[in-house]
Chain A
């Protein structure tokens, strides 16, 4: 292809991406506008929290445990070299609460709950269920999208907290029970160094932001997917990729905002 064609291609794709971004923004604004009406049917949201949150519990808790174990082991190796093994609890707690908890939970969420949302919405669209709802004078945004969105935003910080908590407990098991660090030192150093507002609070804020982003991306991609089996399959892949990249980029921005030294 000639240079001109390549440039034209790139330009077209860039414009296409911009247009998609604009469309997504309108979609988001629309969704937010329908949230109050959607919340009135809270039973629907509860059902969604069950399918999004409860069903993710096992994978989140298991991952939190393993990440906590690994962090503790790796941390111990490095810290003991400087005679700072007693700070292991502090290391793991800070790492978990500030970064690992919100970010890894968001990535796992995108993979488990995000793809399930995308597929569900995509299949509903393919099976004309959303159109049928519209024809029955029921707004699918209120009845289908809003409850799932709220459920995702509520579930994410809870899951992230569970991830971090299980991780800290796992680190305790490795550090105190297996390696033999003094438990008093373990908790004392941690409590001294982890701030409720700055560390845990910011971690919660992060996970809420990630929850909004991943849930919305999953719903949007599902809603806009092609109404064919291949279309839905492609959509689920796209959800994981876009969600993960967005979460990681947002993490960078939020970390810079929250944790940069004044």
Chain B
């Protein structure tokens, strides 16, 4: 089990790599994020947690520039992400790596070609160099022997690791993980958490993990944000959050069935429904 390093955020604040400032985002009918501000510094593993539909994945898409907020700014290394300039956005994206929930691997390519994809598209290198880099990345996730397999031949857990190798192919400064722990068996869980932490420390990148797996996240992250109802309701190191008194935070951290988030879907009194009263 990887040990999390307790780093003081206050001291790192000056080196914010990704900065989300007062962002509001929603569709016609509903607001997903409301005046949210977050900061991620270099070298940190940060977890963004919350219930389903609280806007976690939306945050990742905002950072990646896939959607633009109605108000507020998102800065990547000081530069705004939401410019209209496609070329500038693409330049920023080359410094990010994203791991999608189910891998999003290209099914018509082999494992090797998948990892080589960003290299072939963006790095002007000879095939022999690309081959070396791909094999090294696959080695980092433990799948160097699977390089020749087709995507249809590998398991879900393996697919996620290949996707991780692809996400780090260009050595990005920010790696974003969308629900990396969802649906994994205990061994794969351990492997994935381990990989995330080790890769982050080895490359000095910043890792953002969107997840609702409190245990795994707390094992490896330096800092965590808890979102609910489109707002940040709590933030702090894992130790701070575990000691939090706020009922909403306690319910989430401890996984209590009932609390501020109710167990029962709103319904009239049961006696009324059964026709007893």
Contact = CB atoms under 8 A, between A and B. Distances in A.
- Judged by CB atoms under 8 Å, the answer to whether A and B touch is yes
Interface of A: 123-124, 127-129, 131-132, 134-139
* A-B CB proximity, top 10 nearest: A132-B104, A128-B104, A137-B90, A137-B93, A135-B98, A128-B100, A137-B94, A136-B118, A138-B121, A135-B64
B92 to A, nearest CB: 8
Given A128-B102, A131-B100, A132-B106, 5 more contacts: A129-B105, A132-B100, A135-B96, A136-B117, A138-B117
Nearest to B121: A138
B114 to A, nearest CB: 10
A136 B100 contact: no
Which of A123, A128, A137, A139 has the most chain B CB within a 10 Å cutoff? A137
Interface of B: 64, 66, 89-91, 93-94, 96, 98, 100-102, 104-107, 117-118, 121-122
A129 B104 contact: yes
15 contacts: A124-B107, A127-B102, A127-B104, A131-B66, A131-B100, A131-B104, A135-B64, A135-B96, A136-B93, A136-B118, A136-B122, A137-B89, A137-B93, A137-B94, A138-B121
Contacts of B102: 127-128
Contacts of B104: 127-129, 131-132
Contacts of A138: 117-118, 121
A129 B64 contact: no
Given A127-B102, A128-B100, A128-B102, A134 B107 contact: no
A132 B106 CA distance: 9
Contacts of A127: 102, 104, 107
Contacts of B94: 136-137
Contacts of B91: 137
A134 B66 CA distance: 8
A139 B122 CA distance: 12
A137 B85 CA distance: 13
Contacts of B64: 135
Contacts of B96: 135
A132 B77 CA distance: 22
A139 B87 CA distance: 11
Contacts of A134: 66, 93
A129 B166 CA distance: 13
B93 A135 contact: yes
A152 B118 CA distance: 27
Nearest to B89: A137
Nearest to A134: B66
B106 A129 contact: yes
A131 B64 CA distance: 11
A137 B100 CA distance: 15
Contacts of B105: 129, 132
B107 A129 contact: yes
B7 to A, nearest CB: 28
A135 B122 contact: no
A136 B106 contact: no
Contacts of A131: 66, 100, 104
Contacts of B100: 128, 131-132
A137 B119 CA distance: 12
Nearest to B118: A136
Contacts of A132: 98, 100, 104-106
A136 B121 contact: yes
B121 A135 contact: no
A131 B67 CA distance: 12
A123 B93 CA distance: 24
A56 to B, nearest CB: 19
Contacts of B101: 128
A166 B175 CA distance: 56
A94 B98 CA distance: 57
Contacts of A124: 107
B8 to A, nearest CB: 31
A132 B118 CA distance: 11
